[in-house]
Structures are given as C-alpha cells and as structure tokens.
Amino acid sequence: MRILIRGVAAATVDDSLGDLERTDILIDGALIAAIAPDISADVDEVIDGSGMIAMPGMVDTHRHTWQTALRGILADGNIPDYLRGIRLQMAPRYRPEDMYAGNYVGALDALNSGVTTLVDYCHNILDPDCAHAAVGGLRDAGIRALYAHGLTPILTNTWSQSRGGARDGGDPAALHTRAQLAREIRDAYFASDDQLLRFGIAPQELAIAPAADVAREFALARELGARITMHANQVMVRQLFEDVEVLHRERLLADDLLLVHCTFNTAHEWELLEGTGVTVSVCAETEMQMGMGYPAISETTRHTPGPSLGIDCVSGNSGDMLSHARLVLQASRYRADEPEYAQWRAPQVMAWSTRDALRWATINGARAAGVDHLVGSLTVGKRADIVLVDMSGVSQAGWNRQDPTGALISQGNAGCVHTVLVDGSIVKRNGRLAGVDDRAAVRLLEESHDHLYGQMHDHGGFIPQPPIDIPLYRERA
C-alpha cells in the first residue's frame, strides 16, 4: 500500500525537520517515503490531514499489560496495597485466558490511545501456557512491542506466589526451569528481528533476590540476545537496597538495560549510570500515587541518554500517554521552580518545554526499547508508525498551528487520536480500531474481569484480612 497524508501539521521529533505547519507525508509499504508540501505521487489511499497533527507513534516503556482486566482496582492504593492485592491475591488466580485477554485488549487500548510501541513487563508467568497466551495477545493486537518475559519464581510471603513457569516435576524456583521456558518462548515467537514483536527479559528484583541469582538471569538474557528491563530503587524503606550500586558491582550495567523508576537512586548511583547507556522509564502517575517518590526527570536527563515514560499499572491509572506526558511535564516544572519558591522569588525561567515532553513519549522511548533506528520520529526511511491527532473539535479548536508540539502536549488527549498506523498499516481509522471486533474484545475482557473478581470475593476480597506480612514493609505494615 502507498498512502498519502495530505495537508497535515506535523510534530516530527526529527531535529532536521522540526515542527511543520502544513505538509504531506508519503508512506510506501512499511516506510515513510517522503515528508514535504504538495507531494505528487500515485497512491492507493489519500488521508485528509486538515485539522490534524501528525506525530510519531508514542512508546510506553513500562506497562504491566496483563493487569488490564483489573483496571482501577488500585485507584486509591499504595505499594503495600499493590503487593498484597495484585501480586499476592490476584496474580496467582490468573488463567492463560486471563493473560491473553489482558494483553490483547491492553494492547488494543494502547493503539487506540496512539501508543504504537509497548514494553510489556510481563511478570506474572504462572506456567508455560500463561507465557504463550501473553505473547499471543500482543501478536493478535498488531502492536509493536518488546515482550519482557518475567523470571520471578515462587517467593513466599514477599512479592509473588506464582509457580514461576514450571510444569509438574520441575522446581519452579530453579533457574534452569525458568530458562527452559524463556528459550521456548523466544524460539517460538521471536526468530526474526524483522517483526513487530521483540524478546526481552525481566529479571527478579534485587529487593527480593540475591545479587548472584540476578546476575545469572542477566547472563541468560544476554545469551538469548534479549533486552533487559527491571524495577530499580522504587521503594523507600529503612534498608535502602541501592540497586544501581549492586548492578555496577556485578558489572551488569550496559546499554541493553532499561531500568524502571529509580526514584530513590543515591547521588552516587546516578553518577554510576553515566556513560553506560542504561535508560530509565519514568512512571509518574504510579510513582506519585503509590509512595514511590518523585518522577526523576531531571536526574535521568543529566545522567542517562534521557528519560522515557511508562504507564505502569493499568490497575491504578489509565493508558492516556498524552495526558501522562503533560502531567510529567508540569510536575517537573514545579520541581524546578521549588528553589525559587523557597526564597520567596517568582520563577523567571521555564525549565522544561513541551518539546522535551514529546521526546520523552516518542524518540526517547524508542531508544529505551531498542528500536529508535526504526521508529520514534517522523523521519524519511523509518517505519511508518504514525498517529494523527484530530484538533478540529470544540475542545481543541483554536490551537496554535505554528506550534504543533505545544498543541499536542498542552491540549491533546487519547480521545483526540483519529488515525493510527503501525508499520504502514492502518490500525485505527476515523476514531475506530480497524479490523477489530470491538464488542468481542470488550466481551473477552469482561469475562476475564468477572472471573477474577469472583475469585477475589471467594478468597477474602482484594486484600484479605489480616493483611499478609511483607518483610520488606514489616516496620510500616
């Protein structure tokens, strides 16, 4: 297919192009073939871009997509609530069909909101069937994704009671059992890099596993050619874990590693990240809600290749990445102004721009996911992962046509996403997902939701009383 988007404003995130008040975009197969005014070409379809802004598909670098059927259950929850309610109570009750429904409909939600690339942190692998189902959900949704296969085994009375991927006869806590499943999943679905789905590994967290065990899991990931992503320094407890310090000591820091949160890094740990190529996903809504600290945009900008954004727990907040980027931008601006307030001075300089925020949600995320050579900007020769945001409605009319980036970040939201292309294929058209039975997808997720809530009520509610002991939080429980 050759598609021409005609007369659109564009926030390209390409330094050589910048923002364009009016342009055409020619798509030839999976690639962006040209970006220029008044393109003349034989095409199969013309999309009228008037009143719209074209932007790169957004990249969510951290989402527990499997939790989609539990949307909002943690709306007023903190980390101990999450561990007791999601990880200890609900996660072990998942069936393969629940993993499929969560990942399938969760990926459709991402596409519907203009997120074309997803880092799926899939740390609820109860058995091999759950792993196969999770990958199948992403595949069937048609999203570009890094599937991060979780290696968390049984960890009684801490963060998980999952069966860790073992079948009968194997020790689910043994690395060789988990490694066997990881190889099986990689070989079954990720034989080629020339596809939408890529393979990653999510090792155990250092708060719940010995450093030597985590190092062996890193070695497995690198043997398999997998990108690595893991939570780091997201809990404030008396015994600070200094995850980055441990990773440095074990010689594990490298440019194939995406850390998540890092809200409680020490100053020295930020220095240790410099020059390593390690990237960081900032998940502001979860971090500020759940007692995980302040989003580390400033520190990540100074000491790493740059921050990316993650929606994180859809069990707590929505998948609207444009609104999330705006929240992170304003929170970061406030943080930068705090020293002035402390001196009773009015801030005079704007520390962060909407252009920064758009980069967090696009090219920085693509770099963190290992696909910035393919996507993350509207650049000739890159893959055509493109989002058209409709700015013609009553809530957006009057937008600043000379500043498409500012208009997107300050005025846009997921409800404005009109058309979405992934690899040159239209997956959302005129505000509706294309080639998807919406009702069947919703019905599938609601069936999973009803089953999981039934299980929850049959087993004492979301957080059974008395609350289970979590050693990490014992002094605060």
* pLDDT tens digits, 53-86: 999 999 999 999 999 999 999 999 999 899 899 9
Over residues 189-196, mean pLDDT = 88
Say if residue 6 is exposed, middle or buried (CB neighbours under 10 Å; 0-12, 13-18, 19+). middle
Whether omega before 466 lies within 30 degrees of 0, making that bond cis, reads: yes
Beta bridge partners, 149, equal: 122, 201
Q: How many CA atoms lie within 13 A of 143 on its CB side?
A: 33
DSSP state of 55: E
Least confident of 130-144, 195-209, 358-372, 440-454: 195-209
User: Contact at 8 Å (CB) between 160 and 470?
Assistant: no
Distance CA(203)–CA(248), nearest Å, equals 16
DSSP state of 387: E
Distance CA(364)–CA(344), nearest Å, equals 35
Q: Which has the closest alpha carbon to 374: 47, 203, 366, 212? A: 366
Over residues 366-390, mean pLDDT = 98
Over residues 31-58, mean pLDDT = 98
pLDDT band at 477 (very low <50, low <70, confident <90, very high): very low
Residue for token pair 């999309």: 47
pTM: 0.95
Largest pairwise CA distance in the chain: 69
Distance CA(316)–CA(286), nearest Å, equals 7
pLDDT band at 173 (very low <50, low <70, confident <90, very high): low
Across 171-240, the runs of DSSP E, i.e. the strands, are 197-202, 227-232
Q: Is 11 helix (H, G, I), strand (E, B) or coil?
A: strand
Residue 172 has pLDDT above 60, yes or no: no
Over residues 410-418, mean pLDDT = 97
Single-letter amino acid code for the residue at 100: Y
Element holding 297 (H helix, E strand): helix 297-303
Greater confidence, 308 or 210?
308
Single-letter amino acid code for the residue at 372: D
Residue 194 has pLDDT above 80, yes or no: no
Average pLDDT, the chain: 93
Q: Is 420 helix (H, G, I), strand (E, B) or coil?
A: strand
Beta bridge partners, 35, equal: 25
**For residue 381, what are its two tokens?**
């020769």
Q: How many helices (H) and strands (E) does the chain have?
A: 14, 17
Q: For the segment 221-264, what is each residue's pLDDT rounded down to a tens digit?
A: 999 999 999 999 998 765 567 899 999 999 999 999 999 999 99
Distance CA(213)–CA(196), nearest Å, equals 31
